[in-house]
Structures are given as C-alpha cells and as structure tokens.
Chains A and B, each alone.
Chain A
Amino acid sequence: MPAERKAAAPSSVTFERGADSSLIVHLSGVWRMRHGLPTGDLLNRELMRTGQVRTGEIRRVVFEAGDLADWDSGLLVFVTRAIETCKARNLDTDISGLPAGVKRLIDLAEAVPENKEAETKADRRPFVERVGRATINYFDGLDEFVAFLGALAIAFGRLITGHARFRRVDLMIEIQDCGARAFGIVTLISFLVGVILAFMGAVQLQQFGASIYVADLVGIGMVRDMGAMMTAIIMAGRTGAAFAAQLGSMKVTQEIDALTTMGLAPMEFLVLPRVLALVLMMPLLCVYSDMLGILGGAAVGAGMLNISLGSYMRETFAAIELGGVFGGIFKATVYGAIIGTAGCLRGFQCGSSSSAVGDAATSAVVTGIVYVVVACGLFAVLFNILGL
C-alpha cells in the first residue's frame, strides 16, 4: 500500500504543460481532510497566471495522481471544484488518471444536476420587503390568535351547557399538576418576595421610627398585586411552558390529529381541562401566596425590627381591606386564563419537529408573561379609576 511508503508527504499540487494544449495537474502526497488541504482556488490562479486559456494554448486539463499516497473526501472537494472551474472556462477535463474510487464518486456527485430552485430558499429580498412580509405575517398570526380565542369561548359555552367532551380524570390530573404540585415553588418564592418587600420598606421606614408600617407595606403590596403577579410568573414558567410542550409534542406525533379524526374536538378535550384547571387553581395559589408573603414580612419584622408577631399581624389586618384581597384574587384568575390560553395556543401553533416544541415552550412563557404584565398595568389604571 503506497499509503505506508509515503505517509509523511503532505498533499501538494504541481502544474505542468503537456502535449496537445493541455495542462497537467499532478496531485501527490496524503490528501486527508484532517491534515488540511491546498486551497481549491489553485487551478484558477494557475490559469489566470499563465493567461494561456485566452490565447487558446490550453484547451484541456488532465489530472494525474501517480504519487498520490492516500485520500478521502478532501481530494474530492478539490477535484470537483477544479472541474467546475474548467467548465466555467469551457475547458475539457480528463480525470482518467485519478484512482478508480475517486472517479466513481465524482460521477455520483455529478449524476444529479444542482437544483436551482432549492438554492433560492435563502432570503435575499430587500430589507424593506422583508420588514413588510414580517409585518403581514405578524398580523396573520393575530388572526390565528383571535380564532383560537373564539374557539375557546365556544368550548367554554359548550362546557356551561354541558355538551363539552373531555375526561373528568384529565381535569383532575391537571388540577393536581397546576395546584398541589405547584405549592413548593409558590411557597419559596412568595415567602422570599415578602422578605424582600419588608427589607425594602424597613430601610426607609426605620429612619422615621415608623417600622411598624412595614406590615402595611407588605400586606397591601402582596394582597393587591405581588401575590397574583408572582404566582402568575411562576405558573407561566412552570405550567404555561408545560402546556405548550405537551400539546406541541402531541401535534408532532399526530396525537391531536388522532383525536380530531375520532370526532373529539382537541379544543374541548385538551385545551378546556388545562385552561379550566389553571383558572380554578390560580385564585387559590394567589391566596396562599399572599399569606406566605405576609409571613415573610413578619419574619423580617420579628427578626430585624423587633416587632412582635402579634402586633405585626394586628397592623396587617388593619391595613388590608377585603376589596383589595378580592381584587388580587380576581387578577389572579384573569392571569390564569391568560397563561393557560397562551400555553395551549403556542402548543397548537407548534411546527412538526422537536426543535419546534422547544420554540413553542419558550414562546408560551414569553407570551404569557408579556400579557400578564400588560393586564397588570391595565388593572392598575382601571382600579384607580374605579377607586378600588
């Protein structure tokens, strides 16, 4: 095997003028991709340098591989590139001097002509046009969103009239998943948010000797907004993403098609129990979060501000009103609907590949949180106008 004899010789290309207006390309040494390769442009440069193509002194290019030691696809890349160069300059090529394997592979690579249509896939349109198209696509997406909301509303209508078809056990599983199983993380986050709020207030209020008002700050803050908001953000990341991933992968594996062709509407069978579970559980989680937040505040009060638990709680109960509590619960319910809908919508819009499932989950979280924050802003304005 020549490979062993000349293993050390690196790949090299030399050019030589042959008889009957031909240029002989000598390929020698080891042509392995991992050793690096001569640039495919060498032949082009040689032809440019001599300038003998224009004068007609070179009409053929002959490849010779007498001293070739070893080769892999690297040689093929060089040779096919060189053949293309020759074609572009209307030169004949002769590859009969190459190893038989190389010749066969080159024939195979040239068997099917390049597909010009496939190449235009890349978007080379002008910037303005791309912006326009993206905008139109965005509004088309909005259509889909509105259609989804409409279908969901109809499904809820059928639920109220008792016609909706879904398995009670699915609803129970979802309730367990986005209710009981979310306790741990809601506990941790809400307690810490209470602690953070208390610290923020304490630093300022201590200067006035008004530390007791930390209880008011934490209580009102948690009950009116932070409880619902933090629960919503936790659930968007936890449950909204899960909905999108579940429905997305069900779409990829055609499980959703299987439901449809069985005469079971996926909107009722899959979306309804999920959104319903979240709408039912969010208010409960919100109340739980409120309590934990107040507890967090009390811990700071007792540990740092020397406020007894009893007086902290008395102050808290004096500060918060029932209206505020119900306002928070109402917000949490709306957030639940937003997160559930966003998760299911993104799941349904999922493309048919595994990376699309990941995109759907990401998009569900982003959509959920954005709409929750927007809704929070609207509520702030609305509640202010209503004087709540």
Chain B
Amino acid sequence: MSEIQSIQTARPRTESAEPDIVVRDLTMAYGDFVLMRNLNFVVKRSAVFIIMGGSGCGKSTLLRHLLGLKAPASGEILYGNLNFTHAGPEAREQQLRRFGVLYQGGALWSSMTLAENIGLPLEEFTDLSGAEIREVASLKLSLVGLKGFEDYYPSQISGGMQKRAGLARAIALDPEILFFDEPSAGLDPISSRLLDELILEIRDSLGATIVVVTHELASIFAIGDDSIFLDADSHTAIAQGNPRELLEHSADPRVRRFLTRGAEGEPEAAQGGKAGK
C-alpha cells in the first residue's frame, strides 16, 4: 500500500462522535489588548482539528489557552464533562495527563537524553520499573524512526529529529488528545509530509483527538477534518469547517485568499511589485 493512499483514505470515522473539546465564548487578551473574542467551537473525538490563520493572529495563544498555560479573559473550555477553566488544581492535573503536546521546537529537556525525556512522564505517572521504562522509550523512539538514538542528548541531533523525538515524548503516555504547535515549522517538505503521515497514523491507531496549529496549506488539506480560521483584523474566527470544503465553498475573500495562497480573494496590494520582478 502506498503512503499517498494511506493519507487519502484516512478519512474521519467520526461524523457522529461525541464532542471532546468544547470552547464557549472564549476571549483571549494580553492586559487590555484583546487578541480574539467570542470563539466558539467543538472538536469531535478522534478528529484532526486545525487552528489556522495568518502569522500573529493568536493561533499559538489559543493553543496555550487550551493547554491551561494561559487563563481566558472570559469564556470557558470544557474537556468532556470537565470544565477545565474552572477546575481545581487536582482535576486539571488529571486532565493534563491525558494530553500530549508537541511544541514548536520540540522543547525536549536539554539536560536529559532522549530516553530520559520520554521516560520522565512514565517514571512519574506509572509504576513501571527502570528497565521497562527504557523499553517503552525505545519503542516510542522507533515509532518516530529514531531507534538507536536513546542515549543522545537533544543538542546532538538535528532540528527535525528533535521534533520527532518531541512527538515520541508526547505519545509516551498514549494520550487521548494530542496538540501540535506548528508541526511543519523548520522541516523540509519531505520531513513535514512524513510527520503528517505520523499524525494520521497516531490518530488511527490510538484513536487520539488531534489539534494542530498550523499555517502550512499542504498539511491543512492533507490531514484536516475540521478547522477554525482566526482573523487578526476582526479579532475573531471567521470560518469553521473541513478545510477542503472551505476551499471549495467559502465565500469569504479573506479565507479564500489564505487557502489559495493569495491567488484568489482580495487583491494583494504588493502584487504589482512582485509581478514586476
């Protein structure tokens, strides 16, 4: 079976699935500056949900809110039956253990080897012995194609490998929800594509819900089941839905312009200058 097929056939089996994440009237602000207001969306279980928008529109900030790293100015975030925004520290910590997060640069702990990085959550949250933890860490590394790199420090491997190792750590505890912050940033097109395939593979095999912050169009169309489009100028979400359907049916020029890389939608002011070169 070719890899291309696997991407195209890995379509959602989630149409009727119950919602996993519910965001209600979320307003995000830094001090007095409101970044986004009135965000309302639902992420269905086992879906690949894309948070997209131009640079600086608040995609990563929305992710920080979903992870509880930043408190909403107003509104709330629910995971299943848990009101995450108003939950006590114990309940939040319980919920956090169901998450896996791949940060933009991998965010591996630089003082630990790859095996220790992956082993740390296992060490803290399971009763596995040292040898067993090492075995699990090796397995997770082999899943991302890094078998044999157990005793390397993050600084000794390339950026793309760090990212994959970060993914291995994110899936260490078999999370129910996986968050990706700009997974393709800093990767070459092929590595980026392989990471997309890996994301789909994890969704299909672990049944995890996937939330991806990205502006990489190729990724968006390849893996997205559902999406939200954040617009920096109007400070809110201006489109939601399957990205491919948005491309076909959205009437909003701002969305069209983004999804077609500026070829359609509003005329770009600088186009004259670029065309002249």
Judge whether A108 and B103 touch: CB under 8 Å: no
Q: Does B148 contact A (CB under 8 A)?
A: no
- Report B188-205 CB contacts with A as 1/0, cut-off 8 Å: 000000000000000000
Instruction: Give the interface segment out of A61-69, A205-213, A252-260, A294-302.
Output: A252-260
Report A-chain residues with C-beta under 8 Å of the C-beta of B68. 260-261
The reply on A129 being an interface residue by CB < 8 A is no
A103 — nearest CB in chain B belongs to which residue? B276
Is B272 in contact with A107, judged by CB distance below 8 angstroms?
yes
Tell whether, in the assembled complex, residue A111 and residue B124 are in contact, meaning their CB atoms are under 8 Å apart. no
A257 to B101, CA, bound (A): 10
The answer to whether B99 and A261 touch across the interface, beta carbons within 8 angstroms, is: yes
Residues of chain A within 8 A of B124, CB atoms compared: 165, 262-264
Q: Cβ of A112 < 8 Å from any Cβ of B?
A: yes
Which of B67, B107, B120, B270 is most buried by chain A, counting CB atoms within 10 A of its CB? B107
B273 at interface, CB cutoff 8 A: yes
Task: State whether B270 touches A112 (Cβ < 8 A).
Answer: yes
Contacts of A264 in B (CB 8 A): 120-121, 124
Chain B residues, CB < 8 A from A254: 103-105, 107
Q: Please indicate the chain A residues that have their CB under 8 angstroms from the CB of B97 in the complex.
A: 262-263
| Complex alpha-carbon distance, A230 and B269, angstroms | 64
Contact assessment for B69 and A260 in the assembled complex, using a CB-CB cutoff below 8 Å: yes
Residues A112 and B269 in contact, CB atoms below 8 Å apart = yes
What 0/1 pattern do residues 309 to 342 of A give for CB contact below 8 A with B?
Answer: 0000000000000000000000000000000000
Q: Is B108 among interface residues, defined by CB-CB distance under 8 A?
A: yes
Verify if B93 is at the interface (C-beta below 8 Å from A). Answer: yes
B64 contacts which chain A residues (CB < 8 A)?
A: 257
Is B125 interfacial (CB 8 A cutoff)?
A: yes
Which A residues are in CB contact (< 8 Å) with B103?
A: 254, 257-258
A257, B107: Cβ atoms under 8 Å? yes
Q: Name the interface residues of B256-277: CB closer than 8 Å to any CB of A.
A: 269-270, 272-274, 276-277
- Given known contacts A108-B270, A261-B96, A264-B124, is B69 in contact with A255 (CB within 8 Å)? no
Bound-state Cα–Cα, A250 to B269, Å: 40
> Cβ of A253: which chain B residues have Cβ within 8 Å of it?
105, 107, 110
Bitwise interface map of A from 167 to 203 toward B, beta carbon under 8 Å scored 1, else 0: 1000001000000000000000000000000000000
Flag whether B79 is at the interface (Cβ < 8 A).
no
> Which residues of B are found within 8 Å of A261, using beta-carbon distances?
67-69, 96, 99, 101
- Decide yes or no whether A35 CB sits under 8 A from chain B: no
* From B68, B103, B273, residue with most partner A Cβ within 10 Å: B273
Residues 38-69 of B at the A interface (beta carbon under 8 Å)? 64, 67-69
Task: Provide the bound-state CA to CA distance between A247 and B103, in Å.
Answer: 17
CA distance A104 to B276 in the complex (A): 7
Is the Cβ of A255 less than 8 Å from the Cβ of B272?
no
Residues on B with C-beta less than 8 A from A250 are 109-110
Within the complex, the shortest CB–CB distance from B126 to chain A, in Å, comes to 12
Whether B96 pairs with A263 at a CB distance below 8 angstroms is yes
The complex places the Cα of A111 from the Cα of B105 at a distance, in Å, of 34
How does the 8 Å CB contact mask read for B109-128 relative to A, with 1 for contact and 0 for none? 11100000000110111000
Q: In the complex, A254 Cα to B269 Cα: how many Å?
A: 36
Q: How large is the interface on A (under 10, 10 to 19, 20 to 34, 35 or more residues)?
A: 20 to 34
Closest to B269 in A: A111
Name A99-118 residues within 8 Å CB distance of B.
Answer: 104-105, 107-108, 111-112
Please measure, in the bound complex, the distance between the C-alpha atom of A13 and the C-alpha atom of B96, giving whole angstroms. Answer: 68
Q: B273, A108: Cβ atoms under 8 Å?
A: yes
Give the complex CA separation of A255 and B103 in angstroms. Answer: 9
Distance A264 CA – B125 CA, assembled complex (angstroms): 10
Closest to B123 in A: A167
Q: Which residues of the other chain, A, contact B125 by a CB distance below 8 angstroms?
A: 263
**Which residues of A from 255 to 282 have beta carbons under 8 Å from B?**
255, 257-264
In the complex, per-residue mask of B140-176: 1 if CB is within 8 Å of any chain A CB, else 0: 0000000000000000000000000000010000000
Q: How far is the CA of A132 from the CA of B125 in the complex (A)?
A: 48
Please tell me if the beta carbons of A257 and B276 are within 8 angstroms of each other in the complex.
no
Residues in A74-115 with C-beta less than 8 Å from chain B: 104-105, 107-108, 111-112
A254 to B166, CA, bound (A): 12
When chains A and B are docked, how far (Å) is the Cα of A250 from the Cα of B121?
18
Bound CA span A259–B69, Å:
11
Cα–Cα distance between A253 and B166 once the two chains are bound (Å): 12
Instruction: Knowing A104-B276, A107-B273, A255-B107 are in contact, say whether A262-B69 is a contact too (CB < 8 A).
Output: no
Which residue, of A105, A111, A263, A264, has the highest number of chain B Cβ atoms within 10 A? A263
Contacts of B109 in A (CB 8 A): 250, 255, 258-259
Question: Is A111 a contact partner of B96 (Cβ separation < 8 A)?
Answer: no
Shortest distance from the beta carbon of B100 to any chain A beta carbon, whole Å: 9
- A262 and B121 form a contact (CB under 8 A): yes
Check A258/B270 contact, CB under 8 A, given A104-B276, A104-B277: no
Q: B93 — nearest CB in chain A belongs to which residue?
A: A263
Interchain nearest-CB distance for B94 vs A (Å): 8
Q: Once the chains bind, are B96 and A255 in contact (CB under 8 Å)?
A: no
What does the 1/0 interface line of B83-103 toward A look like (CB < 8 Å)? 000000000011011010101
Whether B277 contacts A255 by the Cβ 8 Å rule is no
Minimum Cβ distance to chain A for residue B120 (Å): 8
Docked Cα-Cα span, A260 to B108, in Å, equals 13
Name the distance in Å between B27's Cβ and chain A's nearest Cβ: 21
19 contacts across the A-B interface (CB closer than 8 A)? A105-B273, A107-B273, A107-B276, A108-B270, A108-B273, A111-B270, A173-B111, A253-B110, A254-B104, A255-B107, A255-B110, A257-B69, A258-B101, A258-B108, A258-B109, A261-B96, A261-B101, A263-B93, A263-B96
Interface residues of A (CB under 8 A from B): 104-105, 107-108, 111-112, 165, 167, 173, 250, 253-255, 257-264
Q: Which residues of B contact A (CB under 8 A)?
A: 64, 67-69, 93-94, 96-97, 99, 101, 103-105, 107-111, 120-121, 123-125, 169, 269-270, 272-274, 276-277
A254-B107, A255-B108, A257-B101 are known contacts; what are 17 more A-B pairs with Cβ within 8 Å?
A105-B273, A250-B110, A255-B107, A257-B64, A258-B101, A258-B103, A258-B109, A260-B67, A260-B69, A260-B96, A261-B69, A261-B96, A262-B96, A262-B124, A263-B93, A263-B94, A263-B97
